[in-house]
Chain A
Amino acid sequence: MTVTAVQKDANALTMTVTAEFDASPERVWQLWADPRQLERWWGPPTYPATFTALDLRSGGRASYYMTGPDGDATPPGYWEILIAEPPRRLEMIDGFANADGTPNQQMPGPGGMNVTIEPIGESRTRMTIENIFPDQGAMEQLLAMGQEEGMRQAVGQIDAILAEARAA
């Protein structure tokens, strides 16, 4: 069974996702390292991703695009791999590019993504993904492509304030 926790830090502009899987670290690493598997989870069902390159080594690069419900492709996304230590650690810059590979100024500015994969027992693995947002405007644009996933019950401080607003 998969256990998932999400921790949001508005101050540091990070969101950390922790998930536990009944699998080995090597199996979890494959989710990132095998482009065909990656394509099945990176994009939401309404915006499936196609990876045109995936070199998951320190200093390597990945390229992908997503296809929207109307059949249009999004500007290409890229990963700049800073550190890859299979099957335990992956640190990357995650951004959008123009067709010529230069950073796309119309899309959310590059953010950071740090993935840690650690065994926590017999055939059980914890994966932690720390997302570092460049700014909130970027966050909003990223969300515009994933919003089909819908809403979810909220957590955190903003919620507590809103609860008081309803009571007032």
Chain B
Amino acid sequence: MAVLTMAKALNEGLRSVMERDPKVLLMGQDIGKLGGVFRVTDGLQKDFGEDRVFDTPLAESGIVGTAIGLALRGYRPVCEIQFDGFIYPAYDQIVSQLAKIHARSKGTVKMPITIRVPFGGGIGAVEHHSESPEAYFAHTAGLKVVACSNALDAHAMIQQAIASDDPVLFFEPKRRYWEKAEVDVSADLSDAYPLWKARVVRPGTDATLIAYGPMVKTCMEAATAAEEDGRSLEVLDLRSLSPLDYPAVFESVRRTRRAVVVHEAPSFVGMGTEIAARLSEELYYEMEAPVLRVTGFDTPYPPSRVEEDYLPDLDRVLHAVDRSLAF
């Protein structure tokens, strides 16, 4: 066991996968000597060479488009998109090409491409560096979308995502990169928690907080605070956004009968919308309150001096819990 930051846990996960599979390539902007702007690929070019860990020209569509060609040639590319807000130039290659190739080829062409995306706000960044674009990709058939929330999960999930023969959008909560957890870097991946499964990270009885990525920690803090008021909140970390682990969501909410979905992304047509709709279909007679959402507002991501007002925090989560319990 070692105590690692999430950034280091991802780094160790990438290292393990590269040692196991010579077809794994890392490609992106400034990921070589610099080790990426968040240092997630630190030291990997030095150890695996410029042929397997390479800096690309500065064009995101080019990164994903050439990764598709490399995958067709039998490689397993891992692309880094430097920041969430820079993924849109690659959107066409991801949505129109990458997502559809398996279906168009009747399964004869596999696209085992992982696209790593540091996402979310809370780091005082300038515009386009704090966005949460996950719903765009979860909406697209043919893509799988996951988000890690802690170092331990990050270490296993990045390896599992790369091992998947489907394309995976891998969202990393950048404001949690420096948070630490105990990680066994030598753990056998086959013992790891399944990638597409949600996990109850804090059991409770009065309501379920459903979150992923950066908001899991926020919800854990809210649950701790609520405990002092005698409220028992369950926290469900979705981990996988597509496929979404509906059975885990239903199981939890069936018990607590109340659900609050929390994400940084705007509410309108977001992950919370889908979850609320499905819960109303599945548990219409069992829930005590409508599903509530605590999200970023339906505005452009604001200047960072006011981002704390935009981002869901402990108080906004508890306020929603109050509303849910008041029904």
- Do they bind each other? no
A binding-site residues for B, Cβ under 8 Å = none
B binding-site residues for A, Cβ under 8 Å = none
